[in-house]
């Protein structure tokens, strides 16, 4: 593994390596064991999209690994003033040991990896969110003791989180059902990639417009905001279209009795999920948020600690 751009690029063994190291690093942190695997290393963090969990978890993670995280907003670097990705990648590769980028265009991440010579981590694009989904898989494993054979139901917008869930679940042998309105379904190419991976892992990929069909017998129920960054002008239209996909107590009850609830946050209570569900006893959203730290530490250690 040279970069983390898409979960579709990873083998099952590479995903398991990340999850196993995440478990080890989390346990060591709780025990007070110092693990400076990246002592003297520097991570450049490029943000053209703002963030809470991504910025804090990567900065704290680098500190706990003995390294240094350098925050670079689009206003802080020449990339935001028209410098090419090629020139930026070439220059940053001479200063840094790794680059994390959270941006709009997925091609920017791919180009940074193509033109530079240091590991690149996709902190989020409009197309994918692999770090989040690795944390999701780790959280499911902690609460269920396994991944293979479980069913995850995702209800809502066929967005970057849904895309990475399709890649991740199909790689590890989890069934995944995605329910979205007709005009808001997942990227067809990514669905096909997930179905190919599912043939190998023995899992199922279900794409439907029916939230009840998707959530039936689910071990994990997942949703995300209906209005992502950059879609604010569509808010009123989206709120009306997505209303049948709101995860309330009635819909959640159609999953398995011991199902857990996930949300990548930020959440808009009363829209995609009700307070009774997101604040209920089966919600593990804050374990999920914490696990961004441990998983990203594992990713950085594997990529930058060679």
What is the domain partition of the chain in residue ranges? 3-129+292-305, 132-288
32-91 pLDDT tens trace: 999 999 999 999 999 998 889 999 999 999 999 999 999 998 777 777 567 889 999 999
pLDDT value of residue 82: 74
Q: What is the dihedral of CA 290, 295, 298, 299, to 10 degrees?
A: -130
Query: Across the chain, what does the average pLDDT equal?
Result: 96
Residue 195 is classified by DSSP as H
CATH fold of 132-288, please?
A: Rossmann fold (3.40.50)
Distance of alpha carbon 155 from alpha carbon 173, whole angstroms = 20
Distance of alpha carbon 260 from alpha carbon 257, whole angstroms = 9
pLDDT value of residue 183: 94
Residue 257 is classified by DSSP as T
Residue 185 is classified by DSSP as P
pLDDT value of residue 97: 98
Inform me whether the pLDDT recorded for 306 exceeds 90: no
Give the rounded percent of residues in the chain with a pLDDT score beyond 70.
99
Distance of alpha carbon 157 from alpha carbon 291, whole angstroms = 23
Q: What is the dihedral of CA 245, 247, 251, 255, to 10 degrees?
A: 110
Q: CB 230: neighbour CB atoms within 10 A?
A: 10
Inform me whether the pLDDT recorded for 118 exceeds 70: yes
Residues annotated as catalytic (active site), given as ranges: 102, 129, 132, 224, 264, 292
Inform me whether the pLDDT recorded for 222 exceeds 90: yes
Joined tokens for residue 196:
């190919």
Instruction: Give the list of residues 6+ apart from residue 108 with CB closer than 8 angstroms, or none.
Output: 85, 101, 125
CATH fold of 3-129+292-305, please?
A: Rossmann fold (3.40.50)
Do the domains at 3-129+292-305 and 132-288 have one common CATH topology?
yes
Prediction pTM value: 0.96
């Amino acid at each position: 593994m040279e970069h983390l751009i898409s979960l579709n690029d990873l083998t099952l063994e590479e995903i398991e390596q990340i999850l196993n190291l995440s478990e080890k690093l989390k346990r060591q942190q709780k025990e007070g064991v110092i693990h400076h695997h990246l002592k003297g290393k520097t991570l450049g963090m490029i943000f053209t999209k703002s963030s809470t969990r991504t910025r804090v978890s990567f900065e704290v993670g680098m500190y706990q690994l003995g390294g240094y995280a350098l925050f670079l907003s689009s206003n802080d670097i020449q990339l935001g003033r028209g410098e090419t990705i090629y020139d930026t990648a070439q220059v940053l590769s001479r200063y840094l040991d790794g680059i994390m980028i959270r941006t709009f265009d997925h091609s920017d991440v791919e180009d940074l990896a193509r033109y530079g010579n240091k590991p690149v981590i996709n902190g989020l694009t409009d197309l994918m969110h692999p770090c989040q989904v690795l944390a999701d898989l780790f959280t499911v494993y902690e609460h269920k003791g396994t991944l293979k054979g479980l069913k995850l139901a995702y209800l809502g917008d066929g967005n970057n989180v849904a895309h990475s869930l399709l890649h991740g679940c199909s790689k590890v042998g989890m069934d995944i059902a995605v329910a979205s309105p007709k005009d808001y379904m997942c990227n067809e190419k990514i669905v096909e990639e997930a179905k190919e991976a599912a043939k190998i892992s023995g899992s199922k990929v279900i794409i439907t417009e029916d939230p009840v069909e998707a959530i039936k017998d689910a071990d994990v129920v997942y949703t995300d905001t209906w209005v992502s960054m950059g879609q604010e002008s569509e808010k009123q239209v989206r709120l009306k279209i997505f209303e049948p996909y709101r995860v309330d107590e009635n819909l959640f009850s159609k999953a398995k009795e011991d199902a857990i609830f996930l949300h990548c946050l930020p959440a808009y209570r009363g829209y995609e999920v009700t307070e009774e569900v997101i604040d209920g006893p089966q919600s593990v959203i804050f374990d999920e948020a914490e696990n961004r730290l441990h998983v990203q530490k594992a990713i950085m250690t594997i990529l930058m600690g060679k």
